[in-house]
Amino acid sequence: MLFGGKKILALDIGTSSIKLAELDSSRKGWVLKKFSVVSVNPGWIRDGEIVDPTSVSQAIVTLVQSARSKRKNVASALFGNGVIVKRISMAPIEENLISEAVKWEAEQYIPFDINEASIDHHVLRGHTRSVGENLDILLIGAKQEYVYRFIETIESAGLKCAIIDVSGFALANCFEANYGQLEGVTALLNIGAGITNLVIVEKGDVIFSRDSTVGGNTYTNELHKAMGVSLQEAESLKISASAGHEVPAEVNAVLASTTEQVVDEIRTAIEFFVATGGGGRINKMYVTGGSMFIPSLLEEISKAVGVPFEVLNPFQQVGYDAKALTPDYIQQIQSICPVALGLAMRDMKE
């Protein structure tokens, strides 16, 4: 189609908000043209499952209208409990037989009914050293029902679902566009509202991806329970405390004890990678997500896992359209945009 009709509209459908992003490629690289956010009510999306497709679809319509987006081909990403990513090793076989072989192998790794799962795979080229050696494969299984719900939700908003990705992969895509391929093993951590994505990359490949069900909502819920305030009040107390404003001492105490719980979950996920990943030591951790601002959370994670961290800058290499977006806005969205940016890059890489 002429005039960019095939360009991708990225929709990161998150637990607390949906992010829309449009990128263009120029001689200088990626340029962000549009970025918009619409809130999602608690309960519409839970652990990566779209529980209320009608409301989510309506929110998408509002978002697309407010962004004045003309693009129709959506890239979106699954996350949470409905997706499983597992690195497997397979005897070498011909390229055209891999898909079928992966399906056979998948059954033992997928924690839900294989007949109700969508299976995909990715050959880890950088990790299969020579001809005749076992193939290193990343197996991706998703609950079909979740996939259908995503498609149905996007298409009811009048859009076309062109790409369904996995949020951890989109995050890695955004990371690589900004930092290239680093030496050794690197961890990416996206601490959102409902989940935290942990993604491990090595030699340009994702070698591990796992979502833990902890994030900003864990804090909000704990404050709500401990202090007997509404979820909304709990949310604003959390944001105030994170901004360093004065709050009742109990708020800081609850945040600190919740951090212990969140750090435990993340440490368990990292230890699981170390025990099963067969990879080397993690050199560094790049952190993003709206909940990275919880006081001392990043320091605590770093201390618990013994890996230094840096805040992921999604605009290290990606530029933005200064006519449409201000530096202040770019600063504001920095921690919530990486998955949407990684999705928006999908078509143009091919």
Task: Quote the least distance from Cβ 347 to ligand ATP, whole Å.
Answer: 22
With CB under 6 A as the contact rule, the residue among 20, 85, 174, 336 that binds ligand ATP is: 336
With CB under 5 A as the contact rule, the residue among 48, 192, 314, 342 that binds Mg ion is: 192
Picked from Mg ion, ligand ATP, none, the partner binding residue 239 (CB below 5 to 8 A depending on kind) is ligand ATP
Interface positions, 284-313, toward ligand ATP (CB under 6 A): 289-291, 293-294
Answer yes or no: are the C-beta atoms of 134 and 91 closer than 8 Å.
yes
Task: Quote the least distance from Cβ 130 to ligand ATP, whole Å.
Answer: 39
Among 223, 225, 194, which residue's Cα sits nearest to residue 211? 194
By CB under 6 A, tell whether 151 contacts ligand ATP: no
- Determine if residue 116 is left, alpha or beta; phi over 0 gives left, psi from -120 to 50 gives alpha, anything else beta: alpha
Helices (H), the chain: 53-67, 98-106, 144-156, 167-179, 216-227, 231-242, 249-276, 297-305, 327-333, 338-344, 346-349
332 CB-near residues (< 8 Å, 6+ apart) = none
Q: Rounded to whole angstroms, how far apart are CA atoms 7 and 10?
A: 10
By CB under 6 A, tell whether 342 contacts ligand ATP: no
HSE at residue 270, side-chain half, CA atoms within 13 A, is 25
Task: Quote the least distance from Cβ 190 to Mg ion, whole Å.
Answer: 6
Enter the DSSP assignment of 151: H
Q: Rounded to whole angstroms, how far apart are CA atoms 242 and 129?
A: 47
Interface positions, 218-247, toward ligand ATP (CB under 6 A): 235, 238-239, 242
Q: Rounded to whole angstroms, how far apart are CA atoms 299 and 307?
A: 10
By CB under 5 A, tell whether 314 contacts Mg ion: no
The smaller minimum CB distance to ligand ATP, of residues 13 and 201, is found at 13
Measuring CA to CA, how many Å separate 339 from each of 20, 211, 252?
A: 10, 14, 30
Task: Quote the least distance from Cβ 97 to ligand ATP, whole Å.
Answer: 36
By CB under 5 A, tell whether 216 contacts Mg ion: no
By CB under 6 A, tell whether 216 contacts ligand ATP: yes
The smaller minimum CB distance to Mg ion, of residues 192 and 314, is found at 192
**Given the rule CB under 5 A, which of 67-75, 153-161, 189-197, 233-241 is the region that contacts Mg ion?**
189-197
The smaller minimum CB distance to ligand ATP, of residues 179 and 293, is found at 293
Interface positions, 180-209, toward ligand ATP (CB under 6 A): 192-195
CB atoms within 10 A of CB 55: 16
- Helix crossing, 216-227 with 249-276: angle to 10°? 140
Q: Rounded to whole angstroms, how far apart are CA atoms 139 and 142?
A: 10
By CB under 6 A, tell whether 82 contacts ligand ATP: no
The smaller minimum CB distance to ligand ATP, of residues 290 and 314, is found at 290
- Name the site residues for Mg ion (rule: CB under 5 A): 14, 192
- Name the site residues for ligand ATP (rule: CB under 6 A): 14-17, 192-195, 215-217, 235, 238-239, 242, 289-291, 293-294, 336
